[in-house]
Structure 1
Amino acid sequence: MNEVKTRGVWKKGAAVALLGMMLTVSACGKDANIPASGTGKEIKVTTTIGMITDIAQNVGSTHVKVTGLMNAGVDPHLYKASQGDMKKLDDAQIIFYNGLHLEGKMVEILEKMGKEKPTVAVSDKIDRKTLRSGAEMATEYDPHIWFNVKHWMKATEQVRDSLSELDPAHKEDYSKNAAAYLVKLEELDRYAREQIGLIPESTRVLVTAHDAFGYFGDAYHIQVKGLQGISTASEYGSKDVSQLRDFLVEKKIKAVFVESSVPKKSIEAVIQGAKEKGHEIQIGGELFSDAMGAAGTPEGTYVGMVRHNVDTIVKALK
């Protein structure tokens, strides 16, 4: 499947038309599709995963109305757009998605939308040389970029720039909001680095159901093992279970982790296999990988989600 080519730029003529709409309010008081300064009309933003929804809300603030397609516990690798989702995409004035084939089953839809309106991959600003890749991956690059907070800072800049281009009347606000959010992300990056560093090297191994934490491992110096590949669409077999089981037994790893968006049965098979070999393994807790927590909870924000993961991992492995 070809990489989605849609970008946060569009044809010059369309951009001029949009700008004209932003500056035009009819005599009867009805706003144009793109809000002009002071109209009070919000830009309609549609996002795919919750982590992107969080960026758009923080950067756009009162100038945007953000609608996310995927809620807590939803696996984006396997997600199929519903009729309701199609309406949300049609109604949007700008769409933000992850890219890198995270939303694999939605590629054709996003390509179509990219011909009609700004459809932005938040991964576009990230240097491809810094992305994880390899023959063992189902896609060209590992799409789980939010697990390196530095990468997610680049995603924030992409959202800021795209909103500023679409709605230049509020560019200064978007810049200020993004700057404040980036400070929080700097603090989060530092927190993750310091806390993971407290785990003894001999037990600094993170084992999960699928290989979503590779960027996290690279950024914060913890070895990562996943039963499945980077996509939950990939199959795993008895050989994968036995290899991971033997690794855990050999390294005397005491805890593995389940994920909120992945069924537990896969990792439970590994635990049972280790037990049969006389090695007891505990579930160290639930991590948020491809989806954040429920709205209204600390884990329902990107910062809260990452902090939860860090704290859970440190508590179990320290």
Structure 2
Amino acid sequence: MIVTKRAFLAGGAAFVTTLAAGRATTQERLTVVATTGMIADAARQVGGELIEVRGLMGPGVDPHAYRQTRTDIVAMANSDLVLWNGLYLEAQMEEFLLELGQDRPVVAVAEAMPDNLLIGSDDYEGRHDPHIWMDPNLWSRVVITIRDALIAAYPAGTENFIANADAYLTQLQELARYTSKVLTSIPPERRILLTSHDAFSYFGNAYGFEVVGIQGISTESEAGLQRIAELVDFLVTRDIGAVFVETSVSDRNIRALIEGAQARGHEVVIGGALYSDAMGQPDTYEGTYVGMIDANATTVARALGGTAPDTGMQGLLN
């Protein structure tokens, strides 16, 4: 089922407005359900004490393949606002979320991104790469969309939402400066990022990397023997010494690549585990969006010959 961006935005805006008109009290907290951890974290940062957020997808969960559970359905049906990424990230949930939006405020927060800032999808004709959180500057735009959705849903919290969003956007600016500093310390010829699936194109655009995914944008796509053989040749001919696994994707294909390169006499190591479609464990630094991106940038920089502190940006701030 193909749905245009205009349909997403019109639906989301209309139902948020409907919710705002029906909310009469400033005493109870707004209940928000968010699909991914990244969206849930942004909502918590902006909403503060005025909202209660439930994230559906935890650490290690692949949003491309995730299907809503009965518990999820109940949570969304009882919420004041549902936030999801859109851009076909939650592919298995899309039809349900669109139907839910017929009588419930449901906002696809990434759909507000201008087309000229989006990367096309090779997997799905007419769609875009949904992994926009890989660039903190792009993600800042999503934070503003979330702020505006909360304001529309709960006008009495406007002042708090604006103040919280401004403070969080300042953190994201610091994050963008840190990631740029450590990633540009990598020699240009070594800025090749090979991972389990094609989740890092926005990262590549932001920091000047050649990005290669074994699978396509969706983890539902399969990598055949020919693809593995082609990438083994790529590793050997480009003299690439480090590749990266992802915390929410099986490492099977990465290990097949390493074994294939070894059979050709070329040593390749795993440079580290990157957070792609999910954040780290709750109540940890990596369990926040800032911590997730910080950890990725620090891991990549250190594995590919750049300069980054062991403790990442967090250590610099302490």
Q: Which residue identity is paired with 2:274?
A: L
The offset of 1:142, in angstroms, is 0.3
Secondary structure at the aligned position of 1:257 is classed as strand
Q: Which residue identity is paired with 1:192?
A: T
Q: In the alignment, what sits opposite 1:22?
A: 23
Q: In the alignment, what sits opposite 1:176?
A: 163
- How far does the alpha carbon of each residue in 1:75-128 deviate from its partner, in whole angstroms, 9 at most, with x for none? 000001111111111111100000000000001110111111211111132111
| Alignment partners' CA distance in 2, 1:212 and 1:21 | 39
Q: In the alignment, what sits opposite 2:138?
A: 151
The offset of 1:3, in angstroms, is 2.6
The offset of 1:19, in angstroms, is 4.4
The offset of 1:20, in angstroms, is 5.2
8 A Cα contact 2:77 2:104, kept in partner: no
Q: Which residue identity is paired with 1:22?
A: R
8 A Cα contact 2:37 2:278, kept in partner: yes
Q: In the alignment, what sits opposite 1:31?
A: none
Unmatched tracts of structure 2, length 5 or more: 306-318
**Bigger radius of gyration:** 1
| Alignment partners' CA distance in 2, 1:269 and 1:6 | 40
| Alignment partners' CA distance in 2, 1:99 and 1:184 | 24
Q: In the alignment, what sits opposite 2:2?
A: 2
Q: Which residue identity is paired with 2:184?
A: G
TM-score by length of 2: 0.91
Q: In the alignment, what sits opposite 2:298?
A: 311
Secondary structure at the aligned position of 1:45 is classed as strand
| Alignment partners' CA distance in 2, 1:280 and 1:63 | 53
Structure 1 residue ranges (4+ consecutive) displaced by more than 2 angstroms after TM superposition:
3-8, 18-23, 136-139
8 A Cα contact 1:138 1:229, kept in partner: no
Secondary structure at the aligned position of 1:150 is classed as helix
| Alignment partners' CA distance in 2, 1:59 and 1:113 | 24
The offset of 1:242, in angstroms, is 0.8
Change (3 A) 1:252 1:20: closer
- How far does the alpha carbon of each residue in 1:259-310 deviate from its partner, in whole angstroms, 9 at most, with x for none? 0000111111111110000000000010000000000111100000000000
Q: 2:284 aligns with which of 288, 291, 297?
A: 297
Supply the RMSD in Å over aligned alpha carbons. Answer: 1.4
- How far does the alpha carbon of each residue in 1:39-60 deviate from its partner, in whole angstroms, 9 at most, with x for none? 2x11110000000000000001
Q: Which residue identity is paired with 1:123?
A: A
The offset of 1:223, in angstroms, is 1.2
Change (3 A) 1:254 1:19: closer
Secondary structure at the aligned position of 1:105 is classed as coil
TM-score by length of 1: 0.91
Unmatched tracts of structure 1, length 5 or more: 24-35
| Alignment partners' CA distance in 2, 1:168 and 1:193 | 36
The offset of 1:22, in angstroms, is 2.6
The offset of 1:10, in angstroms, is 1.2
- How far does the alpha carbon of each residue in 1:121-180 deviate from its partner, in whole angstroms, 9 at most, with x for none? 11132111111015x233510000100111110100000001101111111110110000
Percent identity, aligned pairs only?
Answer: 42
| Alignment partners' CA distance in 2, 1:267 and 1:259 | 10
The offset of 1:210, in angstroms, is 0.4
| Alignment partners' CA distance in 2, 1:20 and 1:127 | 28
| Alignment partners' CA distance in 1, 2:48 and 2:2 | 34
Q: In the alignment, what sits opposite 1:29?
A: none
User: Are positions 1:260 and 2:264 aligned together?
Assistant: no
